[in-house]
A and B are shown apart, each in its own frame.
Chain A
């Protein structure tokens, strides 16, 4: 069964460092998303991406965040200068049609120290 895969599963980084979280969406899907979940809190939308551009972003997704689809299979989230409050689970998701069934990866647990 096709699935969304994310690497790494756990990343520890020092405050102020840049991190890149990687995702391989399901191959025939056209819409890609990043969400995050701070421990004990709701899953929150960060950004959606379609046709090689951002289609929507939340207020959380400020200038320190960026997304890229560098080739036909990968989808990345870059955090330029990490802060302690960026510690969270980051989930990549993809869907065939925008706004409908979205399939999530297993997440990357980011710990900023």
Chain B
């Protein structure tokens, strides 16, 4: 089983739709969870950061973590054409420990159609 799995899509939705993006993981040591947005040939841009289980909301974006199921989600409300990008989940085990690396999903390509 891969350490982080993410459906690569592509996902195409109409403007205004609610988008749900998901990742599953196998490493129970992960406790820091991030969502990045990446435009073509650009660097990943940090969107949301969550520690452990629970929900976090920032504007139109909501991140959810369910550690018992090893499942994380990103919801985008009222999606806009400018949200069209690849969305990457990333996670790490460490803070103050030795495992600082981020492990990424493959990314989901999202297109929001006007």
Contacts and interface: CB of A to CB of B under 8 A. Distances in A.
B96 interface: yes
A89 B49 contact: no
A103 to B, nearest CB: 6
Given A43-B88, A104-B43, A97 B95 contact: yes
| Among all A-B residue pairs, the 3 with the closest Cβ atoms | A99-B94, A45-B101, A104-B43
Contacts of A97: 95-96
A100 B32 CA distance: 6
A106 to B, nearest CB: 4
Nearest to B101: A45
Contacts of B96: 97-98
B67 interface: no
Given A91-B44, A99-B101, 4 more contacts: A42-B106, A45-B103, A101-B49, A104-B43
Interface residues of B, number: 29
Interface secondary structure of A, over-half rule: strand
Interface in A71-113: 89, 91, 93, 95, 97-107, 109
Instruction: Describe B's contact surface by its main secondary structure.
Output: loop
Contacts of A100: 32, 49, 51, 92, 95
Interface of B: 32, 34, 36, 41-46, 49, 51, 88, 90, 92-107
Interface in A22-67: 31, 33, 35, 41-45, 48, 50, 55-56, 58
